Amino acid sequence: MSTKAVISFEVVTPFILLAGITGNFIVCSLIISNKKLRTPFNYLLLNLAVSDLCCSVMGTLFFAGQIRNHYLRDGDLMRPKVEGVICKVTTVIIDLTTKNCVLTLAAISVDRFYAIVHPWRHRRAKIKRNIRILLAAIWMVALIASLPMMLLMAKTPNTFQGTSVSLCLAFLINDHGFKVVAFVDLIASYIIPMGIILRTSLAIIRHLWCHCSQRQSKETSQMLLKSRKRITRIVLSVIIAFNVFWLPWAILQGSLLIGAIQEISDNTFVVMFILVLASASVNPILYSLQSRLFRNGVKRMFRCEGS
């Protein structure tokens, strides 16, 4: 691995992990402790935050194992086996939680679509009862989509020789079953969620700018314009952020499937790993802390700690 890749992995990653753990822990604490925030939509945010928190914690264990493997080469014969098991477990959990995250992001986009474009239908729906079914369905789909990775990891050895960052994942490329993993991951982690997010986001923007103007009086036009710009900015930021974090993975997996590339280099793995962790760190800001209730809750939380 090049010197730049080592610096990126060992210096940038801890800051991203700290931001992810702190931000998602705050979101979880606010929703659980504040009754005003216990709405069906915020339960989706809670599910997202829990998944991102698990991803950040597992990423921390994976990072710590790689640092130990690189710098602390002692004579403990059990250490390679323990680190191999940790690598397999963290990889599977990160795979599961990231799939749950992107599916939850798609559900959030659908919820916002009905809340803005079809508000009366959204209000009449039995959301409180259905949100539990929806969350269970999201986890079930994520679990099913993660089964190929779990099965592939289960048959791999627990001991790895060497110190490469991506070493414990190297067998994936050489295994015939990896194409199944890459195909399922491409469909479940990018194509379907991105299709839903793009479809609902464009429908929201079209509704705000093409349909609402005919229903509003001139007195509220300025307020409406401000609201349109704010919501449009949030919707576009969601689309851009999703593609920044997940489009590189989709391109890599597609390239592996068609045989355009045969292996993942250490430098490429470092970039992809950092993107996954960065997604878990940005989600609290992008989806939760833009809300005034969340921001006020954070202020009250830090005031209590300060006093």
pLDDT in tens, 8-49: 677 888 999 999 999 999 999 999 988 888 888 889 999 999
Task: Tell me 190's DSSP state.
Answer: I
pTM above 0.75, yes or no: yes
Which range among 33-47, 53-67, 122-136, 281-295 shows the weakest confidence by mean pLDDT? 122-136
**pLDDT of amino acid 165:** 47
Q: Give the integer Cα–Cα distance in Å for 137 and 243.
A: 24
Residue 57 has which token pair? 């914690």
User: Residues of the chain with pLDDT > 70: what percent?
Assistant: 75
At residue 170, φ and ψ (nearest 5 deg) are -65, -30
At residue 204, φ and ψ (nearest 5 deg) are -65, -45
**pLDDT of amino acid 158:** 61
pLDDT in tens, 209-251: 776 555 555 555 666 667 667 777 778 888 898 999 999 989 9
**pLDDT of amino acid 112:** 86
**pLDDT of amino acid 194:** 93
pLDDT at 163 over 50: no
What is the topology classification, in CATH, of domain 3-306?
A: Rhopdopsin 7-helix transmembrane proteins (1.20.1070)
Residue 106 has which token pair? 């798609």
Which range among 90-99, 107-116, 163-172, 255-264 shows the weakest confidence by mean pLDDT? 163-172
Write down the H helix ranges in the chain.
3-7, 13-33, 40-71, 79-117, 119-124, 127-154, 171-174, 178-186, 192-206, 221-258, 266-283, 292-306
Most confident of 137-141, 218-222, 264-268: 137-141
Whose tokens are 């469909």? That residue is 187
